[in-house]
Amino acid sequence: MKVKRIVYNITASNPSEADQFYAAIFGLDVVMDHGWLRTYSSGETMTTQVSVASEGGSGTPVPDLSIEVDNLDAALERVQNQNIEIEYGPVSEPWGVRRFYIRDPFGKLINVLQHE
């Protein structure tokens, strides 16, 4: 048996509120919309991963979700244009990533990162 996909589900009373964050900030497309469930995708093929952590690194809290981007500065600009508070960073970490933390509209802590 092989795991084909892992999906992270976020509880929301109004799933369309995710558009302003996941579509506007990260450019993700709605690939499925049942009203009660909306799925966003970049269309990229991804490796299946599950991370288990006691901290988020550098003494930060463990993020609920990590989103790797190809241009952290562009993501940062979009976040700033939406007046989203940055909770940590941006910072270059000793393990070779540059990142910052923000919260999505549902309170989930998001680690936005780019490998350096």
Residue 100 to residue 113: CA distance in whole angstroms: 7
Q: Residue 61: its pLDDT value, please?
A: 98
Q: What is the mean pLDDT of each run of 10 residues along the chain (116 residues)?
A: 89 94 95 95 91 97 97 97 97 98 97 97
| Domain residue ranges of the chain, discontinuous segments joined by + | 15-115
Fold of 15-115: 2,3-Dihydroxybiphenyl 1,2-Dioxygenase; domain 1 (3.10.180)
pLDDT at 6: 86
Q: What is the pTM of this model?
A: 0.93
Cα–Cα distance for residue pair 24/18, rounded to 1 Å: 9
Q: For position 116, what pLDDT does the model report?
A: 93
* Exposure of 65 in the CB half-sphere (CA atoms within 13 A): 16
Q: What local confidence, expressed as pLDDT, does residue 5 receive? A: 86
Q: What is the pLDDT of residue 3?
A: 83
